[in-house]
C-alpha cells in the first residue's frame, strides 16, 4: 500500500508531465493518452475504489483504455502493480 506522501508525489509528477504527453497514441487504436492520465490523477486524488472506477469510466469500446489506466492507478496504490511510478512510460511529444 502506498503512503499518502507517495501518492501526493505521484499526483504532482503526473500533473507536471501532462503538457508533454502525446495526446493520442497511434499504435493503440488512437487511444486518448491525456484522458488516461487524467483518470489516473482522479483515482489518486479521490482514492477511488474499484466500484467507483467502474461507475465513473466506460468499460466498453474505445474508452476501455481509460478504464484500464484508472485500474492501473488503483493497483499501484494497493501495491499490486509492477509499475514503480505511474508517471513513467508515457509517450512524450518529442519522441
Residue 92 lies in a domain: no
Cα separation, 29 vs 64, whole angstroms: 11
Residue 90 lies in a domain: no
List, for residues 15-67, the tens digit of each pLDDT value: 999 999 999 876 656 789 999 999 999 999 999 999 999 999 876 665 788 99
- Residue 25's pLDDT is 75
Number of domains in the chain: 1
Helix (H) or strand (E) holding 89: none
Residue 20 lies in a domain: yes
> Measuring CA to CA, how many Å separate 63 from each of 4, 29, 57, 60?
28, 11, 8, 6
Residue 62 lies in a domain: yes
Cα separation, 61 vs 63, whole angstroms: 6
CB atoms within 10 A of CB 82: 6
**Cβ-contact 1, 79 below 8 angstroms:** yes
Domain of 49, in residue numbers: 4-78
Residue 95 lies in a domain: no
List, for residues 23-34, the tens digit of each pLDDT value: 987 665 678 999
Amino acid at each position: 500500500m502506498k503512503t499518502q506522501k507517495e501518492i501526493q508525489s505521484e499526483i504532482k509528477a503526473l500533473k507536471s508531465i501532462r503538457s508533454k504527453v502525446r495526446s493520442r497514441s497511434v499504435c493503440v487504436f488512437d487511444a486518448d493518452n491525456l484522458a488516461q492520465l487524467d483518470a489516473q490523477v482522479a483515482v489518486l486524488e479521490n482514492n477511488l475504489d474499484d466500484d467507483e472506477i467502474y461507475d465513473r469510466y466506460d468499460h466498453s469500446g474505445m474508452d476501455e483504455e481509460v478504464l484500464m489506466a484508472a485500474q492501473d492507478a488503483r493497483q499501484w496504490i494497493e501495491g499490486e502493480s509492477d509499475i514503480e511510478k505511474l508517471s513513467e512510460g508515457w509517450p512524450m511529444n518529442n519522441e
